[in-house]
């Protein structure tokens, strides 16, 4: 049983390397990865358990419980192992795919395998032929139970892991036929269809991606693929927009976020200098009459937009003076404060304005502030009233 999991994880890693080779990577050069080190540790722990069981110092029930705990930790480590950053974010879902493929292999086994047939002998190993056989048993099972949507999804992932993309397409088509409003199925179908066509997303794959985004505008894989499709046809502004929408969906500062930002920067490098990805966000700022006595004409006014849902840092900032109020403003991507954190990447934003007594960008007690409700990032008539005091 022990080496089944280890061999299965190793086989999944090999398959990942073959299937995702065109997508991967600029990565770490360390000689020993964390997953490899953990595999060695878990292997030693399992051997100790086997030895204790054989020596009679460990009861069978305790052995089974301890083994399950070790195997669960092992599978979790394999699934969560960090991936190097992809060279282009169009396949920025490599980390998610890397989780899905081992999960698919495990799922196939749990669905159609025979756990009781696995012995505790250390010689037991998993090979590609056995994995193929399990996948074929799943396919046979689905022919008898064709309405099993989860089964078709699993079969599609499994065929994809094996590089059998035309068969993966067929499996996902069957899943999509039975669940036409499942955005993830459509995104997965688009991916394997593109792989079956020489890794080209133009045409039907891109249509599937856009349909997936209609159903779920925050589907991470669909956003990644939509960006890649735009990049392929040299619509770099569109690629930037799609990939920027991914940023609020991943942990700030994570490897995924850095990968996405690097891809955004790559696409932006092809844009004309100063070109904004979306029309400017426009509106007006005024100071409430009851606060005019608390502001001086030369006080600095910061006008900024931040994501309604996402990181708190400003996406675009404009400076003015109190003497200029009321003021018509326009914010766009050229006013971004950080690479990859731009107004066009966040569909809903909040516009704020603050009178800074010190001139500092950091709010201080005594500053005056106001904010709009959440608006579209290309709204044209936003009104911000500075009507409160920072405490």
Q: Assign residue 254 the CATH number of its domain.
A: 1.25.40.10
Average pLDDT over residues 77-94: 40
pLDDT band at 75 (very low <50, low <70, confident <90, very high): very low
Looking at the structure of the chain, the number of domains it has is 2
Write down the pLDDT at residue 182. 95
Same domain, 325 and 233: no
The answer on pLDDT for 96 being more than 50 is no
**Domain assignment of residue 69, yes or no:** no
Q: Pick the residue with more confidence: 24 or 225? A: 225
- Contact assessment for residue 132 and residue 140, using Cβ atoms and an 8 Å cutoff: no
Distances (CA, A) of 135 to 143, 154, 156, 285: 13, 9, 10, 62
Same domain, 113 and 232: yes
Same domain, 238 and 368: no
Of residues 218, 231, 229, the one with CA closest to residue 348: 218
CB neighbour class for 221 (10 Å; exposed up to 12, middle 13-18, buried from 19): buried
In angstroms, rounded to a whole number, what is the distance separating the alpha carbons of residues 118 and 7? Answer: 13
The answer on pLDDT for 340 being more than 80 is no
Same domain, 197 and 304: no
**Domain assignment of residue 39, yes or no:** no
Average pLDDT over residues 15-43: 44
Domain span at residue 223 reads: 2-33+81-268
Sheet holding 281-287, edge to edge: 327-331, 281-287, 382-386
From the CA atom positions of the chain, what is the Rg in Å?
Answer: 27
In angstroms, rounded to a whole number, what is the distance separating the alpha carbons of residues 57 and 329? Answer: 77
The dihedral of CA 265, 266, 269, 274: what is its sign?
negative
Same domain, 263 and 308: no
Same domain, 233 and 168: yes
Same domain, 257 and 376: no
Same domain, 261 and 301: no
The answer on pLDDT for 315 being more than 90 is no
Task: Spell out the alpha helix ranges (H) of the chain.
Answer: 2-19, 34-55, 60-80, 94-112, 128-144, 149-161, 165-178, 183-196, 204-215, 220-232, 236-244, 255-268
pLDDT tens digits along 352-371: 999 998 888 788 999 999 99
**Domain assignment of residue 53, yes or no:** no
**Domain assignment of residue 326, yes or no:** yes
Same domain, 113 and 137: yes
Task: Spell out the alpha helix ranges (H) of 20-127.
Answer: 34-55, 60-80, 94-112
DSSP 7-24: HHHHHHHHHHHHHTGGG-
The answer on pLDDT for 284 being more than 80 is yes
Of residues 200, 249, 255, 194, the one with CA closest to residue 220: 249
- Contact assessment for residue 332 and residue 343, using Cβ atoms and an 8 Å cutoff: yes
Show Cβ contacts of residue 364 under 8 Å, excluding neighbours closer than 6 positions: 356, 357, 358, 390
Same domain, 209 and 324: no
Write down the pLDDT at residue 15. 43
The answer on pLDDT for 26 being more than 50 is no
**Torsion angle in degrees (nearest 10) through CA of 251, 253, 256, 259:** 150
**Domain assignment of residue 240, yes or no:** yes
The answer on pLDDT for 82 being more than 70 is no
In angstroms, rounded to a whole number, what is the distance separating the alpha carbons of residues 211 and 216? Answer: 9
pTM over 0.85: no
């Amino acid at each position: 049983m022990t080496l089944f999991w280890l061999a299965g994880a190793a086989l999944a890693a090999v398959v990942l390397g073959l299937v995702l080779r065109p997508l991967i990577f600029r990565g770490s050069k360390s000689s020993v990865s964390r997953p490899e080190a953990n595999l060695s540790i878990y292997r030693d722990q399992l051997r100790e358990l086997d030895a204790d069981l054989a020596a009679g110092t460990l009861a069978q029930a305790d052995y089974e419980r301890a083994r399950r705990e070790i195997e669960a930790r092992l599978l979790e480590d394999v699934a969560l192992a960090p991936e190097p950053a992809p060279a282009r974010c169009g396949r920025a879902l490599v980390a998610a795919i890397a989780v899905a493929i081992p999960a698919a292999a495990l799922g196939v086994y749990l669905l159609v395998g025979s756990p009781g047939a696995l012995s505790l002998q250390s010689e037991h190993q998993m090979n590609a032929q056995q994995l193929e056989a399990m996948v074929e048993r799943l396919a046979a099972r689905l022919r008898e139970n064709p309405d099993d949507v989860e089964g078709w999804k699993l079969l599609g992932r499994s065929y994809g892991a094996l590089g059998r993309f035309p068969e993966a397409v067929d499996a996902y088509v069957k899943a999509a036929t039975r669940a036409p409003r499942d955005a993830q199925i459509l995104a997965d179908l688009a991916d394997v269809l593109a792989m079956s066509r020489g890794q080209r997303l133009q045409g039907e794959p891109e249509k599937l991606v856009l349909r997936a985004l209609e159903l779920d505008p925050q589907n991470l894989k669909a956003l990644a693929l939509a960006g890649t499709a735009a990049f392929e046809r040299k619509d770099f502004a569109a690629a930037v927009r799609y990939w920027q929408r991914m940023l609020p969906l991943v942990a700030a500062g994570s490897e995924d976020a850095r990968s996405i930002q690097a891809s955004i920067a790559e696409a932006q490098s092809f844009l004309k200098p100063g070109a904004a990805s979306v029309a400017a966000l426009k509106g007006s700022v005024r100071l409430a009459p009851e606060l005019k006595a608390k502001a001086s004409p030369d006080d600095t006014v910061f006008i900024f937009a931040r994501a309604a849902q996402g990181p708190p840092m400003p996406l675009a900032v404009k400076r003015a003076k109190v003497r200029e109020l009321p003021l018509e403003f326009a914010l766009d991507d050229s006013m971004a404060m950080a690479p990859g954190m731009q107004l066009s990447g966040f569909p809903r934003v909040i516009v704020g304005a603050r009178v800074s007594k010190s001139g500092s960008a950091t709010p201080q007690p005594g500053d005056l502030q106001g904010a709009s409700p959440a608006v579209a990032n290309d709204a044209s008539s936003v009104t911000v009233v500075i009507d409160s005091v920072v405490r």
